[in-house]
Amino acid sequence: MIIIPARLASTRFPEKILEKIDGIPMVIKTAQSVKDIDEIVIATDSKKVAYIVKNYGFEAVLTNKNHKSGTDRINEAAAILGIDKEEIIINVQADEPFIEKEVVEKVYELTKKNRHSEDILMNSAYKIVTKEEANDENLVKVVTDNSDIAIYFSRSLIPFPRDEYFHFKGHLGIYGYTRKNLEKFCKLSPSILEETEKLEQLRALSHGFKVAMVEVKTKSFGIDTPMDLEKALKMFS
């Protein structure tokens, strides 16, 4: 199952998930991009969003307004829906209207491969980016080991290119887990690293769990600001 967390409030771009793209709300455009992969549920804190979602033929689940992260929101939705502990859940952000189906499929396959692992708690993806792109603090970077297991995530430039480094890995905010591991993650206490970087995936690493990664090819990016939306509309028009 794919669960899309859809919080209506946004500090930098209020109600961005309802911004129209080709006349369709962003959250719906995101759902339409991945609807052929698996069943779609949109977890929201807004009756307004739930109403729109249902009008477009997708299932919506109303969740608590006070969740600190999208992961907590989809965990509540999974509990409401009574999803089996072994079922795979893919977390696709509502502000990824141009995400390619193949990207989500790769995360799904990686999650399926690791579903019985005791130490891999989460599965995610990265793309190769330029040094110029990597210098953007809004783009989260990841360093992985030789098996593509995450060593660290940061908004800073990592690794530091003291001499010359041929590529950097930009993290994509798509996560895959079993229902059991999603619940386990949400029961972990927030870590100092997580609070410092404002990156919840660091909670898993801080508690000694692993985050498996897979390289993907994508032109998509999350819409965080009105400028991002303008850029995306020009790029994908």
Q: What is the CATH number of the domain that holds 199?
A: 3.90.550.10
- Same domain for 195 and 130, yes or no, is yes
Residue with tokens 């189906």: 101
Q: Are 81 and 59 in contact (CB under 8 A)?
A: no
Quick check: is 119 in a domain?
yes
Tell whether 226 is covered by a domain: no
96-142 residue pLDDT tens:
999 999 999 999 999 999 999 999 999 999 999 999 999 988 899 99
Give yes or no for residue 149 having a pLDDT over 90: yes
Nearest residue to 180 via CA among 37, 84, 102, 51: 84
Of 77, 98, 119, the position where a domain reaches its end is 98
> Looking at the 3D structure of the chain, how many domains does it have?
2
Predicted confidence (pLDDT) per residue in 27-44, tens digit = 999 999 999 999 999 999
* pTM for the whole structure: 0.92
First to last CA, the chain: 29
Residues 94 and 119 occupy one common structural domain: no
Q: Are residues 115 and 212 in the same domain?
A: yes
88/169 same-domain check? no
Q: What pLDDT, on a 0 to 100 scale, did the predictor assign at position 164?
A: 74
Contact in structure between 2 and 34 (CB atoms under 8 Å): yes
Which of 215, 203, 212, 185 lies closest to 123, judged by CA? Answer: 212
Q: Which residues contact 137 (CB under 8 A, 6 or more apart)?
A: 155, 156
Residues spanned by the domain of 66: 1-98
Q: Is residue 106 part of a domain?
A: no
